[in-house]
Structure 1
Amino acid sequence: MNLKNLFQDFNPGNFVIYLSLLLFTILFALKGDGYITCSWWLVFLPLWIWKCLVFSGATIAGLVWWRHPEYRIEGEGYVDMKAIIISVALHSLVFIFEVLACDNLESHHNVWLVVFMPLFMTAPISIAACVWGFKHDRGLEFETICSINILQFVFISLKLDMFITWSWAIVFIPMWILMGLLCMVDVIWSILIFRATETMPEQRRAHMMAAFARATLVVPLLTFEILFVNWLDGINDYPLPAIFSPLYLSLVVLLPTSFGQRGNNQWWFGIRKDFCSFLLEVCPCLQEYGNITYTLHPVDIPPETEQIPVRTLPTPAPTPIIINTSSGKHVPPVTIDMPD
């Protein structure tokens, strides 16, 4: 395993998101079952840290952009800054929703329809961001999630305010449809790739491994949704940490994937370079470990260092030459080798 190849495509943004969601869901489950008695503001602390990193990174990037106009022509500087502006706009709306939700959990000041209003506003921005990202070849996973889940947000807010009396299983119908479509597309695409005759064996094997990795994410997530919906409907009374355990598994699986994901915006915090290169410059001592390669099998000994026993052959005695005095020619003697 080459550590340089492992970190060269590291996406710190996705790593922060996955880690923040993992810590938040753990605290949320413990708070929901009464295992901890802290306030909801402390439960939302991982989400606050996530948003603070986004806002501080965008602010520093804006200052570097304003003070150094010569940096703007490096690479795709203008595209990167537009992506940061779109991301900050969406994170600001999500941050407002989190503040309103946390305040409502503490004191119930507002109706949930008002609390979810910032999420409703993310839908048109997310759709426009997805179109822009497709045009400029940008991966916008967060924007995609906000755009396709707008109907789910509406149903949850109406259910919490008791405007609708459906069961939670019906409320989560948009989520069931989305998960079903993802599973169906994944299965159909895998079958087509597997049966395609022009596909190389290496490509087929790589696609199967990717499909297996997606299954390890979708299956635990779907299990969590079923258990959580049944808990909300009163069908089961399992503790929340046990119900959230499949979700923890999905987030733990997602954490290592951030080391192989591309698409990191190099203008965050104004570093203007790959995060791994920036980290190696800040901490030169890490360069020693970045050049280490680990192997899981014994290293072959180079040919020049191998100790090969050499059998020494006896040196043959010089062949005598007999001179024929009658003709003057040199006639070598004829010898017959006897077998050992």
Structure 2
Amino acid sequence: MNLQTLFQDFNPSKFIVHSCLLVFTALFALRLDNYIAWSFWTVFTPIWVWKVLVITGATVGSYVWWRYPHFRLEGEAYIHYKSMLISLALHLILLMFELLVCDKLESSRHLWILVFIPLIFISIVSIAVCIWAVKHDRSFELELFCAVNVLQFIFLALRLDRFILWSWEVVFVPLWIVMCLSLVGVLYTIIFAAILLRTPEVNAQQRRSSFNSALGYTFLVIPILIFQVLLANKLDDDIRMSYTAVVSPLFVSFVTLILMSFSAKGGNKWWFGMRKDFCSFILGACPLLQEYANIAYHSERRNNGVELEQQAEANEKQVKRADLMKPVLPIISIEMPD
């Protein structure tokens, strides 16, 4: 177990987001099934925690940016800081959508189309953000998700307000298209991993990486597709299942995303003013961890010391064999005459 290796590629942002979504999904399903009687404002607590961390991280990062001007000269500091501000703006608009959703679920005093206006706006803006992110080699997962689902958000709002009376299977057509493309990507990763496993020229690390990617994307996309099928049938009253059972496949996807956050790399270094990778920041902030995080613990298989004794005997034989193979040089004694 090497803690430094475990956390050197860790992406804390993705870990927090996916963990909050996992807890929120479970609470929301339990609330819909009336297993808990909490208000929706309480059910949305994981979402509020996520947004508070985003706002706090951007505030601290902005303070460090303006308080220490020499930090702006570090590599791509300006691009990282600008990316953080863009992400903050999108999260604030997303927060407005979530507040409207809670108010709608509690009071039902306005139309769903009004609730979805901030989300539709984010989807349109995300197209430009994705282009900017590609040019500057930045991640854009949330922005890409919103950009490709703008039509889906419109259909959802119209269906919830009963402006259209389509079946939910038809309403989810934009999402079906996205899922089909995702399945094609999963199939490609599986085929690519299979090819690498049968190619002797590829080293073990590349084989392991491709296999892990194929496994991760499989456990990510397939459960989401199953959830979508169950949800459409549930909303159309074709099946009798609780919402908790319907969203259970999503738990597999969220757990997969949480595990993948430990090898996601990247991340914006200006959140909370860290200016470095999460692992380096933690080791610098907590010197006590440096003594333990830099130690690698290896587990070896032992059978009552037999394997260790055999290894020691083999090493001793090799040493003796090496000594026997050394060339013997004759010693010539030269005596000087008196």
Q: Is the 8 A contact 1:193 1:199 kept in 2?
A: no
1:205 to 1:292, Cα distance in 2 relative to 1, 3 A = closer
Q: CA deviation at 1:308?
A: 5.0
Residue 55 of structure 2 is aligned to residue 52 of structure 1: no
Which runs of structure 2 are paired with 1:187-226 in the superposition (5 Å)? 187-188=187-188, 190-191=190-191, 194=194, 200-202=201-203, 203=206, 206-226=209-229
Residue 184 of structure 2 is aligned to residue 175 of structure 1: no
Which runs of structure 2 are paired with 1:129-168 in the superposition (5 Å)? 129-168=129-168
State the distance in 1 between where 2:96 and 2:137 align: 29
Identity, % of aligned pairs?
Answer: 46
Q: Is the 8 A contact 2:189 2:210 kept in 1?
A: no
User: What TM-score does the superposition give when structure 2 sets the normalisation length?
Assistant: 0.85
Aligned to 2:122: 122
Structure whose residues are more often helix by fraction: 2
State the distance in 2 between where 1:50 and 1:302 align: 55
User: What TM-score does the superposition give when structure 1 sets the normalisation length?
Assistant: 0.85
Residue 257 of structure 2 is aligned to residue 259 of structure 1: no
Based on CA coordinates, which of the two structures has the bigger radius of gyration?
A: 1
State the distance in 1 between where 2:190 and 2:83 align: 32
The size of the alignment, in residue pairs, is 311
Structure 2, unmatched stretches of 5+, are: 321-338
Letter of the 1:50 counterpart:
W
* Coordinate RMSD, CA, aligned: 2.6
Which runs of structure 2 are paired with 1:272-287 in the superposition (5 Å)? 272-287=275-290
Aligned to 1:297: 300
Letter of the 2:261 counterpart:
S
State the distance in 1 between where 2:274 and 2:189 align: 39
Q: CA deviation at 1:79?
A: 0.3
Q: CA deviation at 1:110?
A: 1.1
Q: CA deviation at 1:303?
A: 11
1:242 to 1:76, Cα distance in 2 relative to 1, 3 A = same
Q: CA deviation at 1:288?
A: 3.0
Q: CA deviation at 1:94?
A: 0.6
Structure 1, unmatched stretches of 5+, are: 312-340
Q: Deviations over 1:294-336 (max 9, x none)?
A: 334338869997695999xxxxxxxxxxxxxxxxxxxxxxxxx
1:199 to 1:163, Cα distance in 2 relative to 1, 3 A = farther
Q: CA deviation at 1:240?
A: 1.5
1:23 to 1:189, Cα distance in 2 relative to 1, 3 A = closer
Q: CA deviation at 1:201?
A: 3.6
